[in-house]
Amino acid sequence: MFIPLKDSTFRLSPPYVTISIILINISVFIYQTTLPGEALHAWIYSTGVISSQLFKHGVSGFILPFFSSLFIHGGFLHVAGNMLYLWIFGDNIESTLGHCKFILFYFAAGIVATICQLIFQGYSDIPIIGASGAISGILGAYMIRYPRARIQVFFWLIIIIRRVWIPAAYVLGFWFLIQLSNGLGALTIQQQAGGVAWFAHIGGFLAGIALLFILEPYERKRVWKQLNRRY
């Protein structure tokens, strides 16, 4: 297993949007901790995306959860892990796209990720929450934009513990394979293993790659040129 600690890529501009999203998520989570059990349960079910409830509350009840769910988390480790990944990788994608495009990118990736989870989860009363899908989109875009960047990761395997620098393409490619493997495994056993929205991660990652090419045509041309050189 590994945890990313930092990357080697320099940001070109202050990551105002990334910082704002992190602060909003932390603020919302702090608010969640003030709610008693039943109120917290009601809060999560009113702000998360629930397939069995999508069409029961009109247009607003259908659309708003796709946005609000991106700021709701199920626990400290959930929000802490997401914000760590967002801080490490989000600032560079924000620099690449610019502040306004990054906002569009973030929510679009998050919504596509949620839709993917809905498709594979099917009819369910379990709410889909968390920024993981949107952040997965950032990881996908980062792997394409900065494949040779170095990522310092905290790595452990049984008793081997160390910090190492690894190319982003390997770190994020391996991360995606883990999500894909767990997602397929969850389908096989007909349950959402551990409550993790694996297909939100998978869909968000692929959406991030597509959105990078759509919002930043230069990246599409750059990758196309590299492929032509190789083949």
Write the pLDDT tens digit of every residue in 97-113: 999 999 999 999 999 99
Closest Cα partner for 126 from 192, 198, 202, 211? 192
Q: Assess whether pLDDT exceeds 60 at residue 192.
A: no
Confidence of residue 59 (pLDDT cuts 50, 70, 90): low
Domains recognised in the chain with CATH numbers: 2-230 (1.20.1540.10)
**pTM, entire model:** 0.91
Q: Rounded distance, CA 1 to CA 19, Å?
A: 27
Q: Assess whether pLDDT exceeds 60 at residue 13.
A: yes
Are the CB atoms for 95 and 9 separated by under 8 Å?
no
Confidence of residue 154 (pLDDT cuts 50, 70, 90): confident
What is the pLDDT at residue 196? 87
- Helix axis angle for 132-145 and 99-121, nearest 10°, is 120
> Letter for the amino acid at 43?
W
Concatenating the DSSP letter of every residue in 73-136 gives -SSHHHHHHHHHHHHHHHHHHHHHH-HHHHHHHHHHHHHHHHHHHHHHH-S-SPPB-SSHHHHH
Q: Rounded distance, CA 216 to CA 210, Å?
A: 10
Closest Cα partner for 209 from 75, 76, 105, 74? 105
First to last CA, the chain: 34
Confidence of residue 193 (pLDDT cuts 50, 70, 90): very low
